[in-house]
Structure 1
Amino acid sequence: MARVEGFGPVTLGRLAELLARFDLKVQPVKDLSDRVRYGVYEHPESLRDQVHLVTGGDYWPWAGSTSRQVDLDHPTPFDHGDEGRDPPPDQTGSHNSGPLGRRHHRWKTHAGFRSRQCGEGG
Structure 2
Amino acid sequence: MIKVYLMLGGIFATLSVILGAFAAHGLKSKISEQAIVTFQTGVTYQMYHALALILFAIVAKQGVPLNWGSGFLVAGILLFSGSLYALALTGVKWFGPITPLGGLCFIIGWVLFVVQIYRYFEV
TM-score, normalization by structure 2: 0.25
Give the structure with the larger helix fraction. 2
| TM-score, normalised relative to structure 1 | 0.25
Rg comparison, structure with higher value: 1
- In terms of fraction of residues, the more strand-rich structure is 1
